[in-house]
Amino acid sequence: MKKKTQLIHGGIMGDEHTGAVSVPIYQVSTYKQEGPGKHKGYEYSRTGNPTRHALEELIKVIEEGKRGFAFGSGMAAMTAIMMLFSAGDHILLTDDVYGGSFRVMTKVLNRFGLEATFIDTSDVSNIEKEIKENTKALFIESPTNPLLKITDIEGAVKIAKANGMLTIVDNTFSTPYWQNPLNLGADIVLHSATKYIGGHSDVVAGLAVVNDEKLGNDLHFIQNSTGGVLGPQDAWLLIRGIKTLGIRMEEHEQNTKQIVDFLLQHDGITNVYYPGIETHPNHEIAKRQARGFGGMVSFDVGSTEKAEKVLTSVNYFTLAESLGAVESLISIPALMTHASIPVERRNELGITDGLIRISVGLEDAEDLIDDLKQALED
Ligand SMILES: *Cc1c(COP(=O)(O)O)cnc(C)c1O
């Protein structure tokens, strides 16, 4: 099955009993047993729910893994994955990971004895140097947020495997439509499904897929034990969102390419960050490991004042956190999504005060460009 077909025919189709072409929403917590322990595969909805199961089967198919899991948010998925490890274990992570991922590692999980080191994985030669005896996993985000840095996933996996470490990839920005880290050798892939997978700014959810039965059993044990599961209504919304993921991603990218061309020619902009630009430092790797470059672009207008002026002047870009929806969104990472990262660290990473990030939506590209043009005028 090719990708666009997987999105519509992957996993469980409709309802056997009625012929309904959409999976029913099983709004239920418990299931009648014919005798003690004799049930039809479902006992209690934290352990398993048919609507969530249909979504878990679907994400498994489209990420080409062995087992899928749905959580109440991307952060719940990440936390559950980190619970695979124990006090005293050490994890290496990409240095400009999502702000919430940085926060959970450094303010929550550290209190339970999980050690973290953040490194620039866009140069894979940085990985080996930081591996310690207790290093158990490499956590990569690629592309990153908001500088769209790319890590060579295959190259990183090679180093991780040689050192007995698992590789975990946050694939939120690329989506399973453009990039499948498990096929590049990764062990676990996770998504904030709140973004492109849901796609309509109406659900908060997280997904994880593993490529190994044992890891699958371990992660199910944690999902069931810690309980951060996704409800049936939201699971259904994701199944619905995934059906159009392919055409949405194609269109997000077409619009983004046109906007990037406009930004590159604009005098008031110092840097444009997009992996599809030939001068992007890891453009060749992006081209090799993904089928598309996505719909996120960042650019620098030089100062907070200028950036704030752009944000308040645009008409079609909604000033909001988040990304990956049908409506275009605009933000200043330093003041919004990355505010939880200390200022010194932000400057180290290059997340400057004049940096604007846009999540290009599905409006008409010409309208979006005209809107940016007027907002950038002095
Ligand atoms: C939003 C996001 C998350 C967190 O997901 P939530 O659904 O908000 O909990 C993790 N990683 C990336 C790359 C994200 O953009």
Pocket perturbation via mutation, ligand 1, pick of 75, 139, 201, 229 by most ligand atoms within 8 A of CB: 75
Active site residue 240: no
Cα–Cα distance for residue pair 263/257, rounded to 1 Å: 10
Beta partners for 272?
299
Closest C-alpha residue for ligand 1 atom 1: 192
Cα–Cα distance for residue pair 319/342, rounded to 1 Å: 22
Q: From the candidates 26, 98, 177, 196, give the one annotated as an active-site residue.
A: 98
Pocket perturbation via mutation, ligand 1, pick of 93, 105, 172 by most ligand atoms within 8 A of CB: 172
Closest C-alpha residue for ligand 1 atom 6: 74
Cα–Cα distance for residue pair 356/256, rounded to 1 Å: 14
Q: Which atom of ligand 1 is nearest to the CA of 144?
A: 13
Q: Are residues 222 and 284 in the same domain?
A: no
Q: Are residues 18 and 125 in the same domain?
A: yes
CA distances from 209 to 62, 206, 283 (A): 10, 11, 26
Contact 343, 278 (CB under 8 A): no
219 Cβ partners below 8 Å, 6+ apart? Answer: 67, 69, 80, 81, 84, 188, 208, 210
C-alpha of residue 192 to centroid of ligand 1, in Å: 4
Q: What string of DSSP letters covers 3-53?
A: HHHHHHHSS--S-TTT--SS------SB---SBTTB-SS-SBTTT--HHHH
Phi first, then psi: what are they for 162, rounded to 5°? -65, -20
Residue 345's pLDDT is what? 81
Three-class secondary structure of residue 320 per DSSP: coil
Q: Are residues 133 and 209 in the same domain?
A: yes
Residue 339's pLDDT is what? 80
Active site residue 170: yes
**Among 220, 243, 266, residue at a domain's last position:** 243
Rounded to 5 degrees, what angle do the CA atoms 290, 295, 296 make? 100
Rounded to 10 degrees, what is the CA torsion of 342, 343, 344, 350?
110
Q: Are residues 275 and 196 in the same domain?
A: no
Within 6 A (CB) of ligand 1 lie 73-75, 98, 100-101, 141, 145, 170, 172, 192, 194-195, 204, 206
Cα–Cα distance for residue pair 213/185, rounded to 1 Å: 15
The 10s digit of each residue's pLDDT in 55-110 is 999 999 999 999 999 999 999 999 999 999 999 999 999 998 988 999 999 999 99
Q: Are residues 269 and 233 in the same domain?
A: no
Number of Cβ atoms within 10 Å of the Cβ of 373:
11
Q: What is the DSSP letter of 70?
A: E
Cα–Cα distance for residue pair 10/14, rounded to 1 Å: 11
**Among 243, 261, 285, residue at a domain's last position:** 243
Domain count of the chain?
Answer: 2
- CATH code for position 283: 3.90.1150.10
Domain span at residue 32?
3-243
- CATH code for position 236: 3.40.640.10
Counting every residue, how long is the chain?
A: 378
Give the H or E element holding residue 236. helix 232-243
Task: Name the residue among 198, 195, 208, 194 with its Cα closest to residue 237.
Answer: 198
Active site residue 214: no
Q: From the candidates 52, 60, 195, 357, give the one annotated as an active-site residue.
A: 195
Tokens of 364: 């008409």
Q: Are residues 43 and 160 in the same domain?
A: yes
Q: Are residues 138 and 279 in the same domain?
A: no
Pocket perturbation via mutation, ligand 1, pick of 174, 192, 197, 338 by most ligand atoms within 8 A of CB: 192
Q: Are residues 221 and 353 in the same domain?
A: no
Three-class secondary structure of residue 369 per DSSP: helix
Q: From the candidates 152, 170, 234, 371, give the one annotated as an active-site residue.
A: 170
Give the H or E element holding residue 77. helix 74-82
The dihedral region occupied by 229, where left means phi > 0, alpha psi between -120 and 50, and beta the remainder, is beta
**Among 243, 270, 299, residue at a domain's last position:** 243
Q: Are residues 151 and 212 in the same domain?
A: yes
Residue numbers of the chain with a pLDDT score lower than 70: none
Cα–Cα distance for residue pair 45/52, rounded to 1 Å: 9
Residue 134's pLDDT is what? 98
C-alpha of residue 353 to centroid of ligand 1, in Å: 22
